[in-house]
Structure 1
Amino acid sequence: MSLAAAGAASAAAAAPRLTLIMVDRPGCSYCRAWKQDILPGYASHPVGRTLPLRIVPIDGPWPDGIALDRAPLISPTFLLLDGGIEVARIEGYPGRDHFWTGVALLLDRSGSGARAG
């Protein structure tokens, strides 16, 4: 195996299988509340340490190679992707406690074995 092929294989193995996309809309008060309540501590939360987050505007541009069940219409929408394919979603943001509970349910439904901590 060449060094380039070995490097590519290593990068693929290290790439997270599950990702979370937060769909944002300019002027969305619920998006702003989520960014104030959750975003600052997301990376230090047990979920954030294992579930990479990407924020995408509702009108795009969208990351290449993803497949969604349907286009998001509500903001915020949180999309759980497994290998770029949507496996679950949360629509809206009813508050901090509901968010973490909702993410835990998404992870349980995904069958990934990941836990919300």
Structure 2
Amino acid sequence: MLMQTRRFFLACFLSIPLAIPFSATIADQARSVDAHTNNGTQLIMVEQAGCAYCARWNAEISDIYPKTPEGKFAPLRRMDLHDEPLENITFKGALAITPTFVLVTDGHEQARIEGYGGDEMFWAMLTVILQNHSEFKSQVTE
């Protein structure tokens, strides 16, 4: 309950994307996960080997993400920064920062989070973009 309250509080007051430059100090193995959803919404994680912030996200979030309401609504799909763009996905702009989390509905980018500043910041920013750019309804009560 405390975590949901904290996420709601941060989501209400946070609407500015966080851009953190990547660091190539920690090796990270990029995994390719193909996700398809009934509502046409997915979260694409753009990552690259050696990205310390990608490794941190993987350690802190990747195991629990698919079990959350957010992860069920927008399943994660991974993309390496240096690979060819995903088929049938239209991005609004260039992808240069890792990790970048792109909210996609029916193949079109709706919003993005650039960088990873920790688990609380990630959940707050994700809640904001899901509520503002999709039909997602948070389960947090006021």
Query: What TM-score, normalized to structure 1?
Result: 0.82
Report runs of 4+ in structure 1 exceeding 3 Å deviation: none
- Does the alignment pair 1:51 with 2:74? yes
Partner-residue secondary structure (3-state), 1:103:
helix
CA distance in 2, matches of 1:52, 1:89: 15
The one-letter amino acid of 2:101's match is F
**Paired residues for 1:1-117 under 5 Å:** 15-110=38-133, 112-117=134-139
Mapped partners of 2:97, 2:138: distance in 1: 24
Query: With structure 2 as the length reference, what TM-score do the two structures score?
Result: 0.68
State how far apart, in whole Å, the 2-side matches of 1:59 and 1:38 are.
23
Distance of 1:32 and 1:101 partners within structure 2: 20
Q: CA deviation at 1:116?
A: 4.3
**Alpha-carbon displacement from aligned partner over 1:40-94 (angstroms, at most 9, x marks no partner):** 1111111112211101000123321111011211100000001010010000000
Identity of aligned residues (%): 35
Which structure is richer in relative contact order (CA contacts within 8 A, separation 6 or more)?
Answer: 2
Q: Unmatched 5+ residue regions in structure 1?
A: 1-13
Partner Cα distance (1:71, 1:40) in 2: 28
Residue-pair matches, total: 103
Q: Which runs of 5+ in 2 are unaligned?
A: 1-36
Name the CA distance, whole Å, in 2 between partners of 1:15 and 1:45.
Answer: 16
Give distance in 2, aligned partners of 1:41 and 1:66.
25
